[in-house]
Amino acid sequence: MSVSIVIVVILMLGVIFVNGWTDAPNAIATAVSTRVISPGRAVRMAVVFNFLGALFMTLVNAKVATTISNIVKFSSEQRELSLIALAAAMFAIVLWAVVAWYFGIPTSESHALIAGVTGGAIALGGFSAVNPKEWTMVLIGLVISSVLGFVMGYGTSKAIEVLFRKMKRVTANKVFGVGQAGGAAAMAFMHGAQDGQKFMGTFLLGIYLYNAELVKYNPDGSFVIPIWLIVLCSAVMGLGTSVGGYRIIKAVGMDMVKLERYQGFAADTAASICLLISSLTGIPVSTTHTKTTAIMGVGASRRLSAVNWGVVMDMVWAWILTFPGCGIIAYIMAKLFIIIF
């Protein structure tokens, strides 16, 4: 067996673990911050619904995985070098994510994955290795996750305030407490549906580069994602969430906006709908962007000062720097890995 594929698999599992560490907690952050669910129970729920989301959406529609696996073109004549470049990309993503986690900044591991794989491919094959069509889908997803998340969060919160304005506060807290628990489950489900597919697509890309005969295909030419891979990705992601999720929960659910239960429900509902639409259309969006901008929209619906814009700016800068930062690190790591290995 090639040493390169072993390194790719280990680093890919590391990337999935870090995603659970830094991205998955966004799904349950608001439910924990409003004390609807305890952190321990929320993490267990996230593990279960991440798995269900990855399983169900992959069986129904694996377009996101296909988009990610086709975002770059690695040379079929240089399979060993391609594996080394892919390994370097995974290393860069882990490095980027751990630094962001240390500072409690919920970066998008989706965009780190895209940037890292792209940087690795460019190091090997130049800019011709980039697939413009699939990258266009990524940019569309960036707009959707940022703009639509904010707008829907704002609109959903306003609609709830109008429709339930006569409901007593105690009753509202009970009703939306239950609703928010369901919303957190929906967010965890959609996180598995979106991010799980991204990592599965990249995982299968590595297997394809190692030995194309090990990969099966659908009639439309996309990868067939085996059940064992869905289980593996979900389990590793869940482990990451259980180990290091609270720091991100605090940044998203507590520091950025102080939410009431109906607002947490509004944020979860808005973000889940955005992610569902994106998953069904095959657009790879960031669950982090979608959830955090939905929370911003909810906070802004009350008043702009309700949002801690200092925390928001830290997040925005992390998002802006992810593409060039992680891409450049992956490019440099790929050049070094090729020399070393």
Average pLDDT over residues 94-98: 83
| Closest C-alpha among 43, 39, 319 to residue 188 | 43
Instruction: Label residue 250 by pLDDT band (50, 70, 90).
Output: low
Domain regions of the chain by residue span: 3-340
Q: Specify the range with the lowest mean pLDDT, choosing from 236-240, 248-252, 323-327, 335-339.
A: 248-252
Handedness of CA 210, 213, 216, 217 (dihedral sign): positive
> What does the pLDDT look like over 284-309, one tens digit per residue?
888 878 888 888 888 888 777 666 67
pLDDT of residue 252: 54
Are the C-beta atoms of 20 and 159 separated by less than 8 Å?
A: no
Secondary structure, 3-state, 173-232: HHHHHHHHHHHHHHHHHHHHHHHHHHHHHHHHHHHHHHCHHHCCECCCCCECCCHHHHHH
Cα–Cα distances (Å) from 189 to 9, 45, 186, in that order, read 25, 10, 5
pLDDT of residue 159: 92
* Residue 296 CB coordination number (10 Å): 27
pLDDT of residue 290: 86
Q: With 60 as the cut, is the pLDDT of residue 40 above it?
A: yes
pLDDT of residue 208: 86
pLDDT of residue 338: 86
Secondary structure, 3-state, 58-80: HHHCCHHHHHHHCCECCCHHHHH
pLDDT of residue 332: 94
CB-neighbour burial class of residue 281 (10 A; exposed 0-12, middle 13-18, buried 19+): middle
Tell me the sheet residues that pair with 72. 130
Average pLDDT over residues 177-187: 87
| Closest C-alpha among 48, 16, 27, 41 to residue 248 | 27
> What does the pLDDT look like over 194-224, one tens digit per residue?
888 888 888 888 888 888 888 888 777 777 8
C-alpha to C-alpha distance for 85 and 10, rounded to whole angstroms:
14
C-alpha to C-alpha distance for 88 and 47, rounded to whole angstroms:
28
Average pLDDT over residues 75-85: 81
% of residues, the chain, pLDDT over 70: 89
| Closest C-alpha among 87, 65, 76 to residue 5 | 87
Q: What one-character DSSP code corresponds to residue 130?
A: B
Helix, strand or coil for residue 42?
Answer: helix
- Counted residue by residue, the chain has a size of 341
C-alpha to C-alpha distance for 194 and 51, rounded to whole angstroms:
11
Q: What one-character DSSP code corresponds to residue 167?
A: S
* Residue 10 CB coordination number (10 Å): 12
pTM of the model: 0.81
Q: What amino acid is encoded at 89 in this protein?
A: A
Instruction: Label residue 105 by pLDDT band (50, 70, 90).
Output: low
pLDDT of residue 246: 59
